[in-house]
A and B are shown apart, each in its own frame.
Chain A
Amino acid sequence: MERTTLDLWVGMFVVAGIGALVMLAMKVGNLGTYNMSESYQVQAYFSNIGGLKPKASIKSAGVLVGRVVDITLDTEKYEAKVVMSIDKRYQFPKDTFASILTSGLLGEQYIGLSAGGDTETLKAGEVIKQTQSATVLEDLIGKFIYNKASEPAK
């Protein structure tokens, strides 16, 4: 085979392969959505985070505004300390309410932020005071059974 045709084919093969890899990284992986331009970090304490994982999404009114960076156990309060990275474009009032929600019945868990009415906004490094822990299915079932049992028999 002629040298230039061979070079052309090999070049096309390599470009196609690398193109596929880039497409995987951008379209399939989270590399494209990941590096939010600029962000600030806030913290929140939850008594139970359920199945929340690092990199879980943070949504407000259903819009993706940030991601969970780090989850650790605070050994003073014995509560989970969740560090969140939120896009700089979105500012939240100081009395924002953070709750751990589940997308769908058995879907992944995420943090939902609902804004309060405070005029001051959250600054980097500050703590979201009002939080609601994840709903643990076992607790829910336990409560249900307890309520049933305490009902007077008819």
Chain B
Amino acid sequence: MTIANTIRGVGHRTVNAVWRIGLATRFFLQILRFSDTSFRRFRLIKKELFSTGVMSLIIIVVAGLFVGMVLGLQGYETLKRYGSESALGVMVALGLVRELGPVVAALLFASRAGSAMTAEIGLMKATEQISAMEMMAVNPIARIVAPRFWAGVISMPLLAALFSAMGIFGGYFVGVVQIGVDEGSFWSQMQAAVDFKHDIMNGVLKSFVFGTVVTVIALFEGYDAPPTAEGVSGATTRTVVTSSLAILMLDFVLTAMMFGGA
């Protein structure tokens, strides 16, 4: 009996997970369908750009700077053994532009902006603001959800680019200014090794995908949260956990597709 129950439990959880993925996909399609309002009234997106993009600036800039500085230090320690300290710029730049920029910026974005989105929408639902909108024949997806989605999609690549730029500056600061790696070879080897299309544009594409996934997860969890205090807090936690895992897994898939064959 217990075995049957366990199997039933596994089945139930699997069905539930697939069900939620389906719901989230439908939610995503609905966002796309009702996006025209937010582009006709661009002010809605601008307001959300402020709360997702501008408010995430400080954490992104500071985190990027320190990640770059650590990369510079660690990279120097390792490269020194092979006498190729001049490749420090290449290592810092490729590491940031390809991987760390998009991934770490997306993780920070998920915990900084994604959780806020979920909490906000969940609370709107708990205080029945969303029902009130529906009563007034205002489509809540068009009015609340879609502008937040587009703000997330727009700001994520910009934040990732800022993160990478700050990180390279941090690596430059530690490597060239403090340790004394040759400045010329730091930049020239970097420029020789980093390709605009292959490295930078793929990084931008990655952060675009992450931005879409994180905002859809955050908005879906908020919109789907049980309208209680406990429900909203659970949904916020789920947003951070699910989107972090999604970022890391998708990153592997995207990296394998972009750089795996080369």
Tell me which residues across on chain B come within 8 A of A21, comparing CB atoms.
157-158, 161, 200, 204
Closest chain B residue to A11, Cβ basis = B46
From B46, B161, B165, B192, give the contact of A30 (CB < 8 A). Answer: B192
Tell me which residues across on chain A come within 8 A of B200, comparing CB atoms.
21, 24-25, 28-29
User: Given A9-B54, A13-B57, A18 and B158 touching (CB < 8 A)?
Assistant: yes
Of the candidates B82, B162, B164, the one having the most CB atoms from chain A within 10 angstroms of its own CB is B162
Quote the shortest CB–CB distance from B118 to chain A (angstroms). Answer: 22
Quote the shortest CB–CB distance from B48 to chain A (angstroms). Answer: 9
Contacting pair B191 A32 (CB below 8 A): yes
Within 8 A of B (CB), among A21-79: 21, 23-25, 27-34, 55, 57
Q: Contacting chain B: which of A94-102, A103-111, A117-125, A141-149?
A: A103-111
From A9, A29, A106, give the contact of B50 (CB < 8 A). Answer: A9
Of the candidates B82, B83, B157, B158, the one having the most CB atoms from chain A within 10 angstroms of its own CB is B158
Q: Is A136 interfacial (CB-CB < 8 Å)?
A: no
Q: Looking at chain B, what size class is its interface with the partner chain?
A: 35 or more
Q: Is B232 interfacial (CB-CB < 8 Å)?
A: no
Of the candidates A10, A13, A25, the one having the most CB atoms from chain B within 10 angstroms of its own CB is A13
Contacting pair A107 B84 (CB below 8 A): yes
Tell me which residues across on chain B come within 8 A of A9, comparing CB atoms.
50, 54
Knowing that A29-B191, A29-B199 are A-B contacts, what are 7 other residue pairs whose CB atoms are under 8 Å apart, sorted by A's residue number? A7-B46, A14-B49, A14-B53, A20-B161, A28-B194, A30-B192, A104-B84
6 contacts between A and B (CB under 8 A): A9-B54, A13-B53, A17-B159, A28-B191, A29-B199, A105-B83
